[in-house]
Amino acid sequence: MPGSRILIIGLNYAPEPVGIGPYTQGLAEALVQGGHTVSVICGQPYYPQWRRQAGFASGYRTTCEEGVSVTRCPHYIPADPTGLKRIVHLASFALSSLPAALRMALRRDRPDTVIAVAPALLAVLTAWIAARLAGARLWVHVQDFEAEAAVATGLLREGGLAARLALALERFILRRADRVSTISPQMVARLAAKGVDPARALELRNWADDRFVPDAAGAAALRRQWGLEEHMVALYSGNIARKQGIEVLVDAARLLERRTDIAFVICGEGPNRAALERRAAGLPNVQLRDLQPAERMGATLAMADLHLLPQIAGAADLVLPSKLTNMLASGRTIVATTEPGTGLYTEVEGCGVLTPPENAEALAAAIAALADDPARRAVLGAAAAARASDRWSKAAIIARWAAALDTAD
Question: 409 pLDDT exceeds 60?
Answer: no
For the stretch 170-207, pLDDT in tens is: 899 899 999 999 999 999 999 999 999 999 999 999 99
In this structure, the answer to whether residues 304 and 376 fall within a common structural domain is: yes
Question: 208 pLDDT exceeds 80?
Answer: yes
Question: 2 pLDDT exceeds 70?
Answer: no
CB within 8 Å of 248: residues ≥ 6 apart: 310, 337, 357, 358, 359, 360, 363
pLDDT higher at 315 or 78? 78
- The predicted model gives 10-24 an average pLDDT of 95
* pLDDT given for residue 152 in this prediction: 78
pTM surpassing 0.85?
A: yes
Averaged pLDDT of the chain: 93
In this structure, the answer to whether residues 364 and 399 fall within a common structural domain is: no
Q: 175: domain CATH number?
A: 3.40.50.2000
Question: 340 pLDDT exceeds 60?
Answer: yes
In this structure, the answer to whether residues 34 and 156 fall within a common structural domain is: yes
* pLDDT given for residue 175 in this prediction: 92
Give residue 153's identity as a one-letter amino acid code.
Answer: T
* pLDDT given for residue 148 in this prediction: 86
In this structure, the answer to whether residues 385 and 399 fall within a common structural domain is: no
Question: 266 pLDDT exceeds 90?
Answer: yes
In this structure, the answer to whether residues 183 and 317 fall within a common structural domain is: no
In this structure, the answer to whether residues 272 and 381 fall within a common structural domain is: yes
In this structure, the answer to whether residues 311 and 403 fall within a common structural domain is: no
3-state secondary structure of 348: helix
Q: How many residues does the chain have?
A: 409
In this structure, the answer to whether residues 201 and 263 fall within a common structural domain is: no
* pLDDT given for residue 364 in this prediction: 99
DSSP alpha helices (H): ranges in 34-120? 83-106
Q: Look up the domain containing 362 and give its range.
A: 216-391
In this structure, the answer to whether residues 271 and 230 fall within a common structural domain is: yes
At 408, the pLDDT band (50, 70, 90 cuts) reads low
Give the separation between CA 254 and CA 200, rounded to whole angstroms. Answer: 48
Buried b (16+ CB within 10 A) or exposed e, 129-157: bbbeebebbbbbbbbbbbbbbbbbbebbe
Give residue 186's identity as a one-letter amino acid code.
Answer: Q
- The predicted model gives 283-307 an average pLDDT of 94
CB within 8 Å of 8: residues ≥ 6 apart: 24, 27, 28, 38, 39, 40, 41, 114, 115, 116, 117
- The predicted model gives 99-126 an average pLDDT of 95
- The predicted model gives 255-280 an average pLDDT of 95
At 166, the pLDDT band (50, 70, 90 cuts) reads confident
At 211, the pLDDT band (50, 70, 90 cuts) reads confident
CB within 8 Å of 273: residues ≥ 6 apart: 240, 288
In this structure, the answer to whether residues 82 and 66 fall within a common structural domain is: yes
In this structure, the answer to whether residues 68 and 197 fall within a common structural domain is: yes
The number of folded domains in the chain is 2
* pLDDT given for residue 1 in this prediction: 58
Give residue 137's identity as a one-letter amino acid code.
Answer: R
* pLDDT given for residue 215 in this prediction: 86
At 112, the pLDDT band (50, 70, 90 cuts) reads very high
Q: What is the 3-state secondary structure (H, E, C) of 224-267?
A: HHCCCCCCEEEEEEEECCHHHCCHHHHHHHHHCCCCCCEEEEEE
* pLDDT given for residue 123 in this prediction: 92
In this structure, the answer to whether residues 280 and 295 fall within a common structural domain is: yes
Give the separation between CA 155 and CA 88, rounded to whole angstroms. Answer: 13
- The predicted model gives 308-326 an average pLDDT of 88
Planar angle of CA 318, 321, 322, nearest 5 degrees: 130
- HSE, side-chain direction, 13 A CA sphere, residue 285: 22
- The predicted model gives 280-303 an average pLDDT of 94
